[in-house]
Amino acid sequence: MGRLLGIVIWGITIASVWMFVSGKWWFPASISEHGGRVDSQFMITIIVVGISFTAAQVGLGWVVWKFRDNADKQRATYSHGNNRLEVVWTVVTAVIFISLGIMGQRVWASLHLHNAPPGSLQVEVVAQQFSWNFHYAGKDKAFGRTDPNLIDDSALNYVGIDETDPNAKDDAVVSTLVIPANRPVELILRSKDVTHSFFVPQLRFKQDLVPGMNIRVHFTANRVGKYELACAELCGMNHYKMKSFMLVLPENEFSELVTMPQDKFQARTAELMAKYQLPTY
Amino acid sequence: MAEATHEEVHRHPAPTGFIRKYIFSIDHKVIGIQYILLALAAVLVGMIMSVLMRVNLSWPGTHIKILETLFPQGAPGGVMSPEFYLSLVTMHGTIMVFFVLTTAPQGGFGNYFLPIQIGADDMAFPYLNMLSFWVTFVGFIVILLAIFAEGNATVGGWFTALGASWAGGSGTVGPIGGWTGYAPLSALGKIAGPGQGAGVNLWIISVAIFCVGSLLGALNFITTLLNMRAPGMSLMRMPLTCWAWFTTAVLALLSFPVLLGGGILLMLDRMVGTSFFIPGGLYVSGSTVPLHTGGSPLLWQHLFWFFGHPEVYIAIVPGMGATSHILSTFARKPVFGYRAMVFAIFAIGMLGFFVWGHHMFMSGMSPYSAIAFSVLTLSIGVPSAIKTFNWIGTLWGARIRFTTPMLFAIGFVSLFVAGGITGLVLGQTSLDFFFHDTYFVTAHFHLVMGVASIFGMFAATYFWFPKMFGRMMNEGLGKVHFWITFVGVYAIFIPFHAMGLLGMPRRYARFDEYEFLKNSKGLVLFVTIAAIITVIAQLIFYFNFFVSIWKGAKAGDNPWEATTLEWGIPSPPPHDNFAGIVPVVHHGPYEFSVPGAPNDFIMQTDPEGISVHADSGGVSGNGGNGHRH
């Protein structure tokens, strides 16, 4: 029984490690400046995790193989432990785990402990049950005033723009996120109803949109293309299809688009959506 | 530590009537079994729900006849709607976390064995103990009621009559907000979607009732352990199971009141128009939400996770205790590093109160506090690793007897490592940009707080069954159960990591909306098949459990040749445990294979002072030398 258990534990270990190293299931390729750093921090972490996991399982498999009771009437080793070993493994794991923990703050700190760089493109993102709205400031680069009391979905005023505000005249609200490549983007995240979460896997970025809060985040996408945007916080019955797209455009295409008025903006976005393809998975 | 108890022993006669004996019993042993039976009922419901979820994920559109009959609204033609799926997610989580993982390990085995292992004749407050169970039972009935209040039009109608926030019958089997019940989705009522009326109200009431029951239980555990230990039972001579139940009780005492408070505030938001969690200016389902202003959705998350994180330790710590205890017994070796184990279990429990924010990295909370929570989270890996090292150390040089409880205890160690280690990934803020709320998280917590805890409980069941019922469970069936379950749970939850790597979000009713998930089809199907096989294998356990109560081979007082106090009394024990005799404890709990001793185990109550020197194996031992601390 001890041998069988040892072999089964080793078999499970091999299968589990294979799942990670086979390459069949892996992140979609990164498209953001910080994405590569997230991936390499993950690689470091998963190597530590893989070694610890394998060592513990192989060790466990080995002791159950080796120390089974083979009825030779001998007694087990009488030992209450070993303080030196306790100190050694406590210190070693503390150093490794806490170092990993500190390293794991670097990308986070680089994005979240700084304001968006000057010249970032600002987009207001307003989530609602099962759809996304992206509010662009237009030519004047100033957002029109918004007020939740002015929101009226039936009149297509999804984000509550105050039409009487002169800054609102050239604003556009669309259902696809369009951003330039290689330029920092600042999103101002809001929700109209319940908590949602902005998640583009390729971007290596996620942030909840919380009703009552304006959450400002920033990142830089560095690969042109069309990507799926998913909601990653349970928001109600159709959570699984609260889907949109993020278009990352070359600067020239983007700057042309972003100054267009609402209707042209929408039409041109539709053209660009058809032009770019999703990555192949 | 002074001698703990020396009060007058007066024997209580055993109750004679059926009701006082088996229903409203104040005997901690009967109450323990009641908790275990409650968990066995609850886990059946939770497992059926998980199979239904898997069927929906792998074969959306499947017609399930019984669903059509039971829930014609939520599953028209027997096909689950997305909201029906989400209500399964919610109820599966709630029932498993509260009514299985919190009841069986602590209320069940803790209740039954903590008093006996410390040499007490019952809990400190037997009536309170009875009350804890029955309060918890009512909580379970209320959560079951939520299924029909939303799932059945007639029952829903009764609740709708109670007022606007009670509207039911929306065709789900409960709320659709997940077991975390994030506000404002959970606070807004019917306008936020199906299941959010009577379903949420009953969910909150059930959880609140459960909090009260657990709180009463925790008070009882702590008082009993601190005040009712037999002469000679110093704290450092307690079995590690008792340390685990004690730690768990402290966690429950400090965390459940916070959830109870949060639940009451949520109920007030829903029923009387307060705004603890609902901010102003909301626009839901086509209209503005009047009256509410100034609430904070993050407040709910803080309150919930201040409870929720310790809760995962409430689920697993008793399993750690049982595993340590059972490993030592069947390794025929003292626990390696007893003192380190005690400190580690307490360190895990206490650190568990300072890391709740790691559930909220993406919530909009301050990024600075996220960093503090993150580093503290990684540091919990240290006491967890200490425990793992000591378990392997306990097996080193052992003479392992591969009984069914031992197999499950070894399985616990394996699963605890497999599930716990990915905490190193998820605890890092930078990696949660990707992994937060993906299947990687689902993999992590199912392995560690779900199945590892359950393995601890299986080990405990097979181990203590002979003591509880005077009969053995069938070893052959137990082993078949172990092998299928051990391989099965890995086959279910390791692939979850791969889904997480693809970026698959959790709590999705379907995956076919997204191109980036299309490579997951094979994995999803594999998991579904593994889950169905594993769930079916649990019937072997139910069969073995219930048939063995009456038909199992007779067990002696000490079938495993174990050392702790429960093995020195008859199986099952008499009403007052020690038949009016106060046991006197002479040894530490794990004196196995002592050189020179006639047997390879020395009972804790054995007055023969085989002199066992602490220096024979390092000073971190628990000092089995017979001196009181």
Inter-axis angle of helices B240-271 and B198-227, to 10 degrees?
Answer: 150
Indicate yes or no: CB of A228 within 8 angstroms of CB of B332: no
Distance between CA atoms of residues B318 and B106, nearest Å: 7
Indicate yes or no: CB of B400 within 8 angstroms of CB of A64: yes
Cβ-Cβ contacts under 8 Å between A and B: the total is 397
Tokens of A172: 């556009």
Indicate yes or no: CB of B337 within 8 angstroms of CB of A106: no
**Residue A23, burial from CB neighbour count under 10 angstroms (0-12, 13-18, 19+):** exposed
ipTM: 0.97
Closest CA of chain B from A179, distance in Å: 19
For residue B432, the model assigns a pLDDT of 97
Tokens of B96: 């498993």
For residue B611, the model assigns a pLDDT of 52
Q: Which residue has the tokens 């509410």?
A: B292
In CATH, the number for domain B28-280 is 1.20.210.10
pLDDT surpassing 50 at residue B2: no
Domain map of chain A by residue range?
Answer: 2-68+81-111, 118-275
Q: How many CB atoms lie within 10 A of CB A157?
A: 15
Indicate yes or no: CB of B430 within 8 angstroms of CB of A15: no
pLDDT in tens, chain A (281 residues): 889 999 999 999 999 999 999 989 999 999 999 999 999 999 999 999 999 999 999 999 999 999 988 777 789 999 999 999 999 999 999 999 999 999 999 999 999 999 999 999 999 999 999 999 999 999 999 999 999 999 999 999 999 999 999 999 999 999 999 999 999 999 999 999 999 999 999 999 999 999 999 999 999 999 999 999 999 999 999 999 999 999 999 999 999 999 999 999 999 999 999 999 999 87
- CB-side neighbour CA atoms (13 Å) of B299: 17
Give B6's pLDDT tier (boundaries 50, 70, 90): very low
Ramachandran category for residue B181: left, alpha or beta (phi over 0 → left; psi -120 to 50 → alpha): left
Q: What is the mean pLDDT of chain B?
A: 93
Cα-based distances in Å from B336 to A55, B198, B387: 19, 52, 10
Residues 6+ apart with CB under 8 A from A87: none
A-chain residues near B374 (CB < 8 A)? 101, 104-105, 108
Closest CA of chain A from B8, distance in Å: 36
pLDDT surpassing 70 at residue B352: yes
For residue B221, the model assigns a pLDDT of 98
Distance between CA atoms of residues A207 and B150, nearest Å: 32
Tokens of B68: 């059509």
**Cis link prior to B184 (omega < 30° from 0)?**
yes
Q: How many CB atoms lie within 10 A of CB A146?
A: 21
Could you read off the pLDDT of B529-573 as tens digits, one per residue? 999 999 999 999 999 999 999 999 999 999 999 999 999 999 999
Distance between CA atoms of residues A18 and A26, nearest Å: 12
For residue B16, the model assigns a pLDDT of 84
Nearest chain A alpha carbon to B295: A212
Of A53, A102, A108, the CB nearest to B421: A53
Interface test mutation site (partner A, options B81, B379, B424, max chain A beta carbons within 10 A): B424
Residues spanned by CATH 1.20.210.10 within chain B? 28-280, 326-554
Indicate yes or no: CB of A206 within 8 angstroms of CB of B514: no
Residue B152 belongs to what H/E stretch?
Answer: none
Name the percent of chain B lying above pLDDT 90. 89
For residue A185, the model assigns a pLDDT of 98
B-chain residues near A195 (CB < 8 A)? 182, 184-185, 297, 363
Q: Write out residues 64-93 of A within 8 Å (CB-CB) of B.
A: 64, 67-69, 74-83, 85-86, 89-90, 93
Interface test mutation site (partner B, options A13, A78, A154, A228, max chain B beta carbons within 10 A): A78
pLDDT surpassing 70 at residue B523: yes
- Looking at the complex, does the CB of residue A149 fall below 8 Å from at least one CB of chain B? yes
Residues 6+ apart with CB under 8 A from A139: A170, A259
Residue B210's nearest CA partner among B268, B259, B274 is B259
Distance between CA atoms of residues B80 and B67, nearest Å: 8
Distance between CA atoms of residues B462 and B143, nearest Å: 29
pLDDT surpassing 80 at residue B487: yes
Cα-based distances in Å from A24 to A28, A36, A41, B418: 11, 19, 20, 21
Cα-based distances in Å from A239 to B76, B244, B524: 20, 39, 19
Q: How far from the centroid of its chain's Cα atoms is residue B341's Cα?
A: 20
B-chain residues near A58 (CB < 8 A)? none
As its CATH architecture, domain A118-275 has: Sandwich (2.60)
In sign, the C-alpha dihedral spanning B514, A175, A125, A249 is: positive
**Could you tell me the CATH superfamily of domain B326-554?**
Cytochrome c oxidase-like, subunit I domain (1.20.210.10)
Q: What are phi and psi of B414, to 5 degrees?
A: -60, -45
B77 vs B202, higher pLDDT: B202
Look at the pTM and tell me if it is higher than 0.90: yes
Q: What are phi and psi of A205, to 5 degrees?
A: -145, 140
Indicate yes or no: CB of A207 within 8 angstroms of CB of B364: yes
Can you spell out the DSSP letters for B56-84?
A: HHHSTT---HHHHHH-TTTSGGGPPPHHH
Interface test mutation site (partner A, options B430, B510, B622, max chain A beta carbons within 10 A): B430
Residue B157's nearest CA partner among B171, B141, B169, B146 is B169
